[in-house]
Chains A and B, each alone.
Chain A
């Protein structure tokens, strides 16, 4: 679209003829906003802005305790072993990456001296390497210096399959080399447009080599420091009780000026989201609570007390309904929902279109998700420049009826539509979670009005999201006609998010249902767009390819977007948390402070 214009502007910023901020403003006007505007600038050769968040405290410490409430407590404190957000959040208090994501989707340096760019020579023009300069003078909590050896060690540690690190996916395909004591280079096999994965944010947290070197590989679980973190972070480790409490105290030698503000920090775990909201918003017993999956109605009511409020950050998390393209009720070679079958009802595009018309996204947003959701027609909802403007959604029972009538689905005696002896009856499954069950009820009612009979099923989350091969109720086996859940976006880049619908990832018995294309949708045009995007280093063309991929999915009604979900936290009024929809809540914990 604005290829040449964009390039001109990037050059203007580079030469200082145009202000950075003005550039971002212009991008906004084009419907392209902050997170990737800055990324575009970076690839275009302009350095990222440095930490735009205003930080007011003028001295270190003196802020008293910071009490955080997570309704699931951290169960371990080694960032490479973190199985979920709760663990990552806990270890992030003590360990740090080279850079983190700020609220606008900018990278801000933590252990790096600066963010790599083409200008400062950090980014290779061919997109095949990144060179990170490390901040000098940083010390581990035990006084040893932090060097490039530590960074290289973390790569070796995580990529060793015997270590059983969960970050192995980030590190296994790259090579990391030490240039000098304060410089490392990350080498990619192929040109990699999104280079800010390794050593960035929670998956990039760095362990001290001198304490973990002996525990690489099979001995990883014996490391005494798995439970007693020694990092470079703003807080030093005090106490850890798995699933219950993580406690830290101020690091007086922290490498950032005037930080941290608080003298002690604790994350208390356990309980449920509603009572966590009460403890922050209603009584102020705690300062901040995470992941408020609570009906907006309840939150609004709590906020009337005036002690605290909810805070939102936008990322790309999507709650959606997926349609099964294969037949879940026919077994072929011992496999249901086999790619060799076609779904008897959903293979008719008219039925898929009708279903999309029957999801009352507006009602669901207003009455369930409230401020924590946005209606959307897209599967890909961020960062902004990847978001398609070509799609639309509508809720209309009449239109759905019309679509079905035109396709020959006529109402039977019981009011349920049928065609060629096949009745429009669908099994709709999801995981157990309050808002999801309500969404199910809303969709079911609209479908009934249109002559589609829906049977509801809900499965415990730990079973639904299991990778246990013997289990029939997992989302990837998809022994249902339609299913609903959320896929989070863990970084401001769509590559991982969109790749899953590529036909080579179809979930089958052969790959033990580990393939991530669970709707079992096959579309060559989509495959081609994804393949092209993954090799494309031009940010503008790359964005266009992902938009195209999203639009193909929309046209074919592979998924029905229910809500674009925001991250919701609860904070007492005086707290100034620094949050981002693109990363964990504690990823910028050093910048949190309190204002009277």
Chain B
């Protein structure tokens, strides 16, 4: 099984820097490239949107309630006559930021703990798995209520009402979603650390850190990327649950998840209300997933492209 070491067809390509090589490989994945642009476009839309679409997010107008898309309201209105497009733009900032940041927290913490647990053969490994089991068994709702109760006012005082809540939400969502990542990474590590190429590196005197970073991690990255991309969707949805518990942003702050939640009872009266936030979450998720696929293929050194 000597072939398990990196199979590289052409030596001269090694002269590229690894980043350029990754980028070259990434570019070959058409959907991934398109998705990257799509995601950038979404981000640009929510960042610059308010300068173009200057309708207030919470102007109540009882005369135009539950209206379908029109020129005045391209995405229609909700049951208080508020403009859904403006709310989508505003909410997109929060939803995308929360989704991406929470995913980053989950992936980083999960990978770190999983890698440590996977490499350690002693008490540390057991302790980290215990921690993972503990977090998996904690009932989230009481924990959330407790966290709001303990930290809301403190964070609000330090980071201001919006910033404090944002940090809290990202930490809470990320902090409650890293466990599957940790378990997946650990499982991969347990298997990979015994493989010949790692043994070879070890025999050559590679430090554990080098073994991990250069040899094991790149081969364990597949499930991590998938978990990360799924977490983005989960975090956007989880945010809506949080605001429903009073942990999220103030109740009049629209986010994609919350718009979808509010719209659900009107699904047979005003389908557009649910369609736009649902569609936006879907597009973001698809884009992030294809970017993930592209990254995975690009990072997979064995694959010849």
Direct contact of A and B (CB under 8 A): yes
A444 CB contacts on chain B under 8 angstroms:
58, 252
User: Min CB distance, B21 to chain A, in Å?
Assistant: 51
A460 contact set on B, CB distance < 8 A: 145, 245-246
- Within 335-374 of A, Cβ neighbours of B (below 8 Å) are at 363, 366-367
A442 to B251, CA, bound (A): 12
Q: How far is the CB of A362 from chain B (nearest CB, A)?
A: 10
Least CB distance, B247 to chain A, in whole angstroms: 9
A442/B79 contact (C-beta < 8 A), A297-B66, A301-B269, A432-B246 known: no
Establish whether residues B251 and A294, one from each chain, have CB atoms under 8 Å apart when the complex forms. Answer: no
Q: Output the least CB separation between A148 and chain B (Å).
A: 47
Q: Which of B33-90 contact A (CB under 8 A)?
A: 58-60, 62, 65-66, 79-80
Q: Is A445 within 8 A of B59, CB to CB?
A: yes
Instruction: Give the residues in chain A near B246, CB-CB below 8 Å.
Output: 432, 457-460, 463
B250 within 8 A of A: yes
Is B266's beta carbon under 8 Å from chain A?
yes
Which residues of chain A are within 8 angstroms of B161 by Cβ–Cβ distance?
455
Q: In the complex, what distance in Å separates the CA atom of A258 from the CA atom of B268?
A: 43
Q: How far is the CB of B64 from chain A (nearest CB, A)?
A: 12
Contact for B265 among A295, A456, A458, CB less than 8 A: A295
Does A113 belong to the interface (CB within 8 Å)? no
Smallest CB separation, B259 vs chain A (Å):
13
CA distance in complex: A441, B244 (Å): 15
B151 adjacent to chain A (CB < 8 Å): no
CB distance A274 to B252 under 8 Å?
A: no
Within 8 A of B (CB), among A430-471: 432, 434, 437-438, 440-442, 444-445, 455-460, 463, 471
Q: How large is the interface on A (under 10, 10 to 19, 20 to 34, 35 or more residues)?
A: 20 to 34
B23 within 8 Å of A by Cβ? Answer: no
> Measured between alpha carbons, how far is A55 from B122 in the docked complex, in Å?
78
Residues of B97-114 at the interface with A, using a CB-CB cut-off of 8 Å, are: none
Q: Does chain B have a CB within 8 A of A472?
A: yes
Contact B266 A298 (CB under 8 A): yes
Chain B residue with the shortest CB-CB distance to A431: B246
Whether B265 lies near A298 (C-beta < 8 A) is: yes
B159 within 8 A of A: no
Residue of A nearest to B268 (CB): A301
**Residue in B60, B244, B251, B265 whose CB lies within 8 Å of A445:** B60
Question: Shortest CB–CB separation between residue A292 and chain B, in angstroms?
Answer: 12
> Any chain A CB within 8 A of the CB of B130?
no
Closest to A432 in B: B246
Known: A366-B62, A432-B245. A295 touches B79 (CB 8 A): yes
**Given B80, B149, B245, which contacts A438 in the complex, CB threshold below 8 Å?**
B80
Assembly CA distance A295 to B268 (angstroms): 14
Residues of A within 8 A of B265 (CB): 274, 294-295, 298
Give the complex CA separation of A432 and B242 in angstroms.
12
Chain A residue contacts of B266, Cβ below 8 A: 297-298
* Size class of the B contact interface (CB-based, 8 Å): 20 to 34
- B interface majority secondary structure: loop
Distance, CA A455 to CA B265, complexed state (A)? 27
A116 and B54 alpha carbons, distance in the complex (Å): 68
| B149 lies within 8 A of A458 (CB) | no
User: How distant is A470 from chain B, measured CB to nearest CB, in Å?
Assistant: 9
Which B residues are in CB contact (< 8 Å) with A319?
none
- A442-B252 contact, Cβ under 8 Å, with A294-B265, A301-B269, A471-B149: no
How far, in angstroms, from A397 to B145 measured CA to CA in the complex?
37
User: CB-CB contacts of B245-278 with A at 8 A, as 1s and 0s?
Assistant: 1100011100000000010011011000000000
Q: Report A406-445 residues with CB < 8 Å from chain B CB.
A: 432, 434, 437-438, 440-442, 444-445
Per the bound structure, the CA–CA distance linking A363 and B65 in Å amounts to 12
Q: Compute how far the CA of A445 lies from the CA of B80 in the bound complex, rounded to whole angstroms.
A: 12
Complex Cα distance, B254 from A441, in Å, reads 12
CA distance A471 to B145 in the complex (A): 11
Distance to closest chain B CB from A274 (angstroms): 5
Query: Distance (Å) between the CB of B232 and the closest chain A CB?
Result: 26
Any chain B CB within 8 A of the CB of A483? Answer: no
Using known A-B contacts A432-B245, A463-B145, A472-B149, determine if residue A367 contacts B65 with beta carbons closer than 8 Å.
Answer: yes
Assembly CA distance A366 to B63 (angstroms): 12
Given the known interface contacts A367-B65, A473-B149, the answer about A297 and B251 at a Cβ–Cβ threshold of 8 Å is no
Give Cα A298 to B58, complex, Å: 22
Cα separation A171 to B299 with both chains bound (whole Å): 75
A274-B265, A294-B265 given; A457·B250 CB < 8 A:
yes
Which of B250, B266, B268 counts the most chain A CB atoms within 10 A?
B250
Q: Which of B60, B149, B269 contacts A297 (CB 8 A)?
A: B269
In contact, B60 and A455 (Cβ under 8 angstroms) = no
Residues of B within 8 A of A457 (CB): 246, 250-251
Min CB gap A253→B, angstroms: 45
Q: Which residues of B contact A297 (CB under 8 A)?
A: 66, 79, 266, 269
Contact A456 B245, CB 8 Å, known A297-B269, A445-B60, A463-B145:
no
CA distance A445 to B62 in the complex (A): 12
Q: In the docked arrangement, what's the CA distance between A581 and B58, Å? A: 36
**Nearest CB of chain A from residue B266's CB, rounded to whole Å:** 7
Nearest CB of B to A568, in Å = 15
List the A residue with the shortest CB-CB distance to B153: A472
CA distance A54 to B244 in the complex (A): 45
Within 373-388 of A, Cβ neighbours of B (below 8 Å) are at none
Q: Which residues of A contact B250 (CB under 8 A)?
A: 455-458
| Contact status A367-B251, CB under 8 Å | no
In Å, the complex CA distance between A297 and B77 comes to 15
Nearest CB of chain B from residue A437's CB, rounded to whole Å: 4
**Residues of A close to B262: CB separation below 8 A:** 434
- Is the CB–CB distance between B59 and A458 below 8 Å? no
Residues of A within 8 A of B268 (CB): 301
Which residues of the partner chain A approach B66 to less than 8 Å between Cβ atoms? 297
Q: Which 3 A-B pairs have the closest CB atoms?
A: A437-B251, A458-B251, A274-B265
Q: What is A's interface to B at a CB cutoff of 8 Å? A: 274, 294-295, 297-298, 301, 363, 366-367, 432, 434, 437-438, 440-442, 444-445, 455-460, 463, 471-473
Q: List 18 A-B contacts (CB under 8 A).
A: A297-B79, A297-B269, A298-B265, A363-B62, A367-B62, A367-B79, A367-B80, A432-B244, A437-B251, A437-B252, A440-B251, A441-B252, A445-B58, A457-B246, A457-B250, A459-B246, A460-B246, A463-B246
In addition to A298-B265, A301-B268, 9 A-B residue pairs with Cβ atoms within 8 Å of each other are: A295-B79, A301-B269, A367-B65, A437-B251, A444-B252, A456-B252, A458-B250, A459-B246, A463-B145
